[in-house]
Chain A
Amino acid sequence: IAGITQAPTSQILAAGRRMTLRCTQDMRHNAMYWYRQDLGLGLRLIHYSNTAGTTGKGEVPDGYSVSRANTDDFPLTLASAVPSQTSVYFCASSDSSPGGSDTQYFGPGTRLTVL
């Protein structure tokens, strides 16, 4: 692995189903983020984690949950998918420790369609 990876690349999901989007980074970054990107709205933060074991809510957290059991992995779960969650989902990570650059590096994204 080099950088940050996401799986799956794309997914079509029936409404009401549960879905987990996976994100893994190998840069040992302390902070990780989940965004959704919709046309004309830009990137919106769903949840974030400043360090393993802690998580926080972003701008649009409803309907989503996250966990951060270790430094590398930050899965995003949709408990019961709805059509409004159709979007492109990006995971990102950054070195936000003292002296770190805070620059966020993005995974390739997951394109999710909820029918």
Chain B
Amino acid sequence: GQNIDQPTEMTATEGAIVQINCTYQTSGFNGLFWYQQHAGEAPTFLSYNVLDGLEEKGRFSSFLSRSKGYSYLLLKELQMKDSASYLCAVTDSNYQLIWGAGTKLIIKP
């Protein structure tokens, strides 16, 4: 079966750095997405990785290792508004998007 694993919940301090991990087992791979979802709102696109390595976008970076079936989302200089759920999703060989259950990130002052 296809599976995406992420921690259920993480806590971090305002101003700090946090890394949210995602491991996947899918039938094929055609890209990995990270989305942010604030409580009561829709998911919004953060990043996309299809090749190995690090993609940096402001305070957020996303890393991919296809050989290890692994990705992480790195959030720097955490702000209270970063409190949200972070969803990892992988496009499989049929171009279907397989979603993880999400990681709830709690930021404390």
A residues near B (Cβ < 8 Å) are 40-45, 90, 96, 101-109
Contacts and interface: CB of A to CB of B under 8 A. Distances in A.
Contacts, number: 37
Q: Classify the interface of chain A: helix, strand, loop or mixed.
A: loop
B96 A102 contact: no
A96 B95 CA distance: 9
A96 B31 CA distance: 13
B69 to A, nearest CB: 18
A41 B45 contact: no
Give the contact-size bracket for chain B.
Answer: 10 to 19
Given A40-B101, A42-B101, A43-B87, A102 B95 contact: yes
B45 A103 contact: yes
Contacts of B33: 103-104
A106 B95 contact: no
A108 B41 contact: yes
A28 B82 CA distance: 31
Nearest to A94: B97
A102 B42 CA distance: 17
B97 A42 contact: no
